[in-house]
Chains A and B, each alone.
Chain A
């Protein structure tokens, strides 16, 4: 059992220790970007859902207008943060 264990352990170590040994690029800004993108998608979905609810007759017009305004403001905040990340 020792031989196969040693072989497997070596293969595994090669895979697992590589990031610690090889120089890695700093992907932090990209990671943050992905999180913001996901938040943006979620907000867009909310805006679309609200409009659909209004058109289907679940939301009255004044309720929808105020909700839409609020959601769009939140979406703009996210877009602003994305811009900061892109260095614009």
Chain B
């Protein structure tokens, strides 16, 4: 009995338990019997324990480099650094499925535990839905891609982790994204329960609101990590390529953002109930689609569908879930219709609605563009694809509209707004925006960026609105309580975390888009071939290739690359400051025997180790592609040497490059304001954290009500 057997056993029992959760949950939902609801809930807890066991077993196999595990043999090796051994688990198909369903069981257990005394009607159905989704993933693992598949003849050495993935951001990226996808499954499950029970109130929203927000935060963070990885690790120097895989993660984030806003309308005014139900269904479907797209090959390869064996079952599951959900929402639409009407055009409800509309529009555009190859083939017969120009052209004005709405939203309140009061509130932010705009036109060449100038002004507008909200709020609190300004401010924020956290998120988004605008409208890129001594000028930087660098077994980036070729570049900026930059390229040995024992070190996978000099005003990004063609002669000669001389031969060949460096290809990019994308992202995370944080009062109240409940229970027994 090996640990792989135990792992498989855990998955098999887990599958059974998930199916039980479905049955027990439905039964409890229909009959209202609390003990069956408790049993279904415990089934989810049991699932969590089983999957934690499976994860632990798999990680242990990675750590001890047990190559009898097929996954470990394919994705790790004895010389993989420890950090990447642990995180390699989710870089494979089967391992990532295990992570997904583990996170699902974790979040499901959490929400069911937290709501075990509430939502008696709908929690059992929610349990059944969560069990159902878990069962699907377990089904995939048991019948299509098992994480515990073993090799009859374990190899002596593993294939190692794909070098492109050897970057911390890439290791945190999948868990972040999956937390996002899984997180949105929770409100979806409770929405389904509420619809089944014809519950029209916002109870399901209140119970799952935090989960939706956590999901939104993690998904956004995961997307940002992916962009950061792309920018600082890949050799093309951009952060967003409108790649199908990138788009697949952005779409549920967009509908999730819409959802977070529109649930507030339902909580406050009881409106948009059908819309909210539809929105969370759409978000869940897009989350599944996002998980599926990355692993199906449907949009990746030309004319290939179902290259991965998981494509078909995933599509079947999504189709089934979609049809069932739409049927459910449609059948309940009369129950969900609300009597409340929109009172005035200038009201928070209307702006939230507009915000939703714009977000959905952006999502539809991205969906259309991403699936365009399939759409165009269906319509015209030829497969056509659209690229960044299409996406940028259409999403840019929509993004501007979104920021404008986000800027004005905080100024409005529900139902009705006095226009006179609004006019007064507009003065300061509008003034700030105008001053910014004029200052930029007068003192910088920002005017040449077209829409970028609008974005900059809008960012100033948002910042001013939020600052004004903090100020007015603190002042209002002071008239009520007479506290000193700093105390009033901190108490204000502390007692209105949702509101002020949300405002900070708005600022973060505006700053992030400011960075996007700056780096797209004002950047410059040069691709050149330089010999040592030659230089290139980009913007006001003068970049000179001083000398080549060669590193053997001293990979500066810690990814375990045995060979690294690069360059030392002297850079002089417009103010006369000089500094050096050292981009390089890591070479990883190929496992293929066809390349020769020495040659395989030079002709395997190679990754660009970019050198990035970041600054608040702009980044200088440099990448090198050394030319190793002339080394072919020495390499072929070294291949013929006896094995014990191979090490020395590699050193000698590398030295040959260092002593006779041919011209190398360089790419230099200057991107203004890129750093603000990451800064804006951090601000968004901070604001979201604030909004999520439970206030101490709420905690105290919860504890008191627990005591009251216990008292009631004990009294009734006496």
Residues of A in contact with B (beta carbons under 8 Å apart): 1-5, 8-9, 12, 15-20, 24-35, 37-39, 41-42, 46, 48-49, 51-53, 55-60, 63, 67, 86
Please measure, in the bound complex, the distance between the C-alpha atom of A23 and the C-alpha atom of B49, giving whole angstroms: 25
Which chain B positions have C-beta within 8 A of A26? Answer: 34
> Are B46 and A16 within 8 A (Cβ)?
yes
Residue of B nearest to A7 (CB): B9
CB pair A19–B38 under 8 Å, yes or no, is: yes
- Whether B50 and A20, one on each chain, are in contact in the complex, defined by CB atoms closer than 8 angstroms, is no
Q: A28-B120, A55-B479 are in contact. Are A34 and B411 (CB under 8 A)?
A: no
Closest Cβ–Cβ distance, residue B8 to chain A (whole Å)? 6
A12 to B584, CA, bound (A): 53
Nearest A-chain residue to B417, judged by Cβ: A58
Could you tell me the dominant secondary structure of chain A's interface residues?
Answer: helix
- B698: chain A residues within 8 A (beta carbon): 41
**B413→A53 contact, CB < 8 A:** yes
- Closest approach, in angstroms, between the C-beta of A55 and any C-beta of chain B? 3
A28/B472 in contact, CB under 8 A:
no
Q: Are B712 and A30 in contact (CB under 8 A)?
A: yes
> Known: A33-B709, A57-B425. Is A16-B17 also a contact (CB below 8 A)?
yes
Q: Verify if B203 is at the interface (C-beta below 8 Å from A).
A: yes
Q: Is the CB of A12 within 8 A of B34?
A: no
> Other than the known A1-B5, A52-B473, A57-B476, what 5 A-B pairs have Cβ atoms closer than 8 Å?
A5-B9, A27-B713, A41-B698, A46-B268, A59-B418
Inside 8 A of B427's CB, which chain A residues have their CB? none
A-B contacts, CB under 8 A, total? 131
- Complexed CA–CA distance, A86 and B13 (Å): 43
Complex-state Cα separation, A80 to B120, whole angstroms: 21
B51-71 Cβ-contact flags toward A at 8 Å (1 or 0): 001000000000000000000
- Residues on B with C-beta less than 8 A from A86 are 712
Q: How far is the CB of A10 from chain B (nearest CB, A)?
A: 10
Knowing A28-B120, A41-B698, the reply to whether A4 touches B6 (Cβ < 8 A) is yes
Mostly helix, strand, loop or mixed at chain B's interface?
helix
Pair A4/B117 contact, Cβ less than 8 Å = no
Identity of the chain B residue whose Cβ is nearest the Cβ of A48 in the assembled complex: B495
Complex contact B6–A19 (CB within 8 A): no
The answer to whether A17 and B709 touch across the interface, beta carbons within 8 angstroms, is no
Chain A residues near B203: list those with CB within 8 A: 35, 38-39
A12 and B421 within 8 A (CB):
no
CA distance A74 to B202 in the complex (A): 15
Q: Are B117 and A12 in touch, CB under 8 angstroms? A: no
Q: Among the listed B6, B17, B118, which residue makes an inter-chain contact with A12, where contact means beta carbons less than 8 Å apart?
A: B17
Contact B118 A35 (CB under 8 A): yes
23 CB contacts below 8 A, A to B, read A1-B8, A8-B9, A8-B50, A12-B43, A15-B45, A16-B42, A16-B46, A19-B38, A26-B34, A29-B712, A31-B117, A31-B118, A38-B118, A38-B203, A38-B206, A39-B203, A49-B496, A49-B499, A55-B477, A56-B472, A56-B475, A58-B413, A58-B425
Alpha-carbon gap, A38 to B17, bound state (A): 31
A19 touches B42 (CB 8 A): yes
Residues of B within 8 A of A48 (CB): 495
Q: From A10, which residue of chain B is reached at the shortest CB distance?
A: B13
- Cβ of A18: which chain B residues have Cβ within 8 Å of it? 39, 42
Q: How large is the interface on B (under 10, 10 to 19, 20 to 34, 35 or more residues)?
A: 35 or more
Report A-chain residues with C-beta under 8 Å of the C-beta of B153: none
- Bound-state Cα–Cα, A52 to B705, Å: 26
A4 to B13, CA, bound (A): 10
In the assembled complex, the Cα of A65 lies from the Cα of B653 at a distance in Å of 84
CB–CB B268/A31 < 8 A:
no
Shortest B103–chain A CB gap in Å is 20
Question: A61: shortest Cβ distance to chain B, in Å?
Answer: 10
Query: A residues within 8 A CB of B413?
Result: 53, 58-59
Considering the complex, which residues of chain B in the window 220-261 have a beta carbon less than 8 Å from any beta carbon of chain A?
Answer: none
- When distances are taken between beta carbons in the complex, the residues of chain B under 8 Å from A24 are 34-35, 38
Residue B442 is within 8 A (CB to CB) of chain A in the complex: no
What residue of chain B has the Cβ atom nearest to residue A59's Cβ? B413
Q: How many Å from the CB of B35 to the closest CB on chain A?
A: 4
In the assembled complex, the Cα of A36 lies from the Cα of B476 at a distance in Å of: 31
Asked if B1 lies at the interface with its beta carbon under 8 angstroms from chain A, I say yes
Which chain A residues lie closer than 8 Å to B45 at the CB level?
Answer: 15
Contacts of A56 in B (CB 8 A): 469, 472-473, 475-476
Is the beta-carbon distance between B39 and A16 smaller than 8 angstroms?
Answer: yes
Highest count of chain B CB atoms <10 Å: which of A2, A49, A58: A58
**In contact, A58 and B411 (Cβ under 8 angstroms):** yes
Nearest neighbor of B698 in chain A, beta-carbon distance: A41
**Distance to closest chain B CB from A83 (angstroms):** 13
- Which residues of the partner chain B approach A55 to less than 8 Å between Cβ atoms? 476-477, 479-480
CB distance from A73 to the nearest CB of B (A): 15
B46–A15 touching, CB < 8 Å: yes
- Give the CA-CA distance A57 to B50 in the complex, in Å: 55
Q: Which 8 A-B pairs have the closest CB atoms?
A: A55-B476, A19-B38, A5-B9, A4-B9, A34-B118, A19-B35, A60-B418, A12-B46
CA distance A81 to B416 in the complex (A): 30
Check B705 against A12 for contact (C-beta < 8 Å): no
Q: Considering the chains assembled together, what is the distance between the CA atoms of A23 and B297 in angstroms?
A: 52
B119 at the A interface (CB under 8 A):
yes
| Separation of A3 and B416 alpha carbons in the complex (Å) | 68
Interface residue B303 (Cβ < 8 Å from any Cβ of A): no
In the docked arrangement, what's the CA distance between A55 and B10, Å?
A: 59
User: Shortest Cβ distance from A15 into chain B, in angstroms?
Assistant: 5
Q: Tell me whether A52 and B476 are in contact (CB under 8 A).
A: yes
The complex places the Cα of A25 from the Cα of B49 at a distance, in Å, of: 26
Residues of A within 8 A of B421 (CB): 57-60
Q: Please, what's the 1-or-0 string for B691-711, where 1 marks a CB less than 8 Å from any CB in chain A?
A: 000000010010001000100
| Bound Cα distance A31, B415 (Å) | 33
Identify the closest chain B residue to A54 (Cβ). B476
Please indicate the chain A residues that have their CB under 8 angstroms from the CB of B411 in the complex. Answer: 58
Collect the chain B residues with CB atoms within 8 Å of residue A35's CB: 118-119, 203
- Collect the chain A residues with CB atoms within 8 Å of residue B13's CB: 5, 8-9, 12
Residues of A within 8 A of B709 (CB): 30, 33-34
> Does A1 lie within 8 Å of B46, measured CB to CB?
no
Q: Which A residues touch B473, using CB under 8 A?
A: 52, 56
Could you tell me the distance in whole angstroms from the C-beta of B500 to the nearest C-beta in chain A?
11
Which residues in chain B, 1-23, are within 8 Å of chain A measured between CB atoms? 1, 5-6, 8-10, 12-13, 16-17, 20
CB B66 to nearest CB in A, in angstroms, measures 17
Shortest distance in angstroms between A53's beta carbon and chain B's nearest beta carbon? 5
> What's the nearest-Cβ distance from chain B to residue A14, in Å?
9
Check B412 for interface membership: any CB of A closer than 8 A.
yes
